Amino acid sequence: MVRDWVRAFIGLGANDGEPLKQIEQAFKCLEALPATVDLQRSKIYRSSPWQAQGPDFINAMAQIDTQLSAPALWVHMQRIEQAAGRIRPYRNAPRTLDLDLIFYGEAVVHSPALVLPHPRWRERAFVLRPLADLAPARIHHSDWQVVAGQAITPV
């Protein structure tokens, strides 16, 4: 069965190991996903940890068009994280790579494994700033007020 194309947005972050290299490698892995085309990249940003531990994060956003289902895309994203050495020793531990599915088209999903849109996307400057590079219409001006105190700068 061939699915319709869906535009998805994936947040990328890393603050352990070699974050910039890991983000670049993750972009390559996302571009190579099956049934996925037209990867667009945001600029790359540096942000202070927010509700997390460790050194500053390197963050970005990917936009893809895919025929993968949301759960299948999520499984591929988990594999990319694991290949980058992602471990989860405790909540909000430093990460070699963190991939978050922010939007999958206009889908609304509430399952034990996946919630869409990402439930905290409007609370995080490290999501809003890169998302604004690719899809500024998704962000309401009041969203910026919520994240006003969160430092984020281009790399």
Mean pLDDT of the chain: 92
For residue 86, indicate whether it is catalytic.
yes
**1 within some domain:** no
The kind and range of the H/E element at 66 are strand 57-66
Tally of structural domains, the chain: 1
For residue 100, indicate whether it is catalytic.
yes
**119 within some domain:** yes
Question: Which residue in this structure is represented by tokens 């890169």?
Answer: 130
Indicate which residue of 98, 122, 124, 143 is catalytic. 98
**32 within some domain:** yes
**117 within some domain:** yes
CA distances from 105 to 37, 67, 121 (A): 15, 11, 15
**88 within some domain:** yes
Q: What is the distance in angstroms between the CA of the first residue and the CA of the last residue of the chain?
A: 42
Q: Supply the pLDDT for residue 88.
A: 66
For residue 95, indicate whether it is catalytic.
yes
For residue 122, indicate whether it is catalytic.
no
Q: What's the whole-model pTM score? A: 0.94
Indicate which residue of 86, 122, 124, 129 is catalytic. 86
The kind and range of the H/E element at 82 are helix 70-83
Per-residue pLDDT of 88-140, as tens digits, reads: 656 666 788 999 999 999 999 999 889 999 999 999 999 999 999 999 999 99
**63 within some domain:** yes
Q: Supply the pLDDT for residue 49.
A: 84
**84 within some domain:** yes
CATH at 103: 3.30.70.560
Higher pLDDT, 89 or 54: 54
pLDDT of residue 86 exceeding 80, the answer is no
**115 within some domain:** yes
The residue segments making up the domain with residue 75 are 6-154
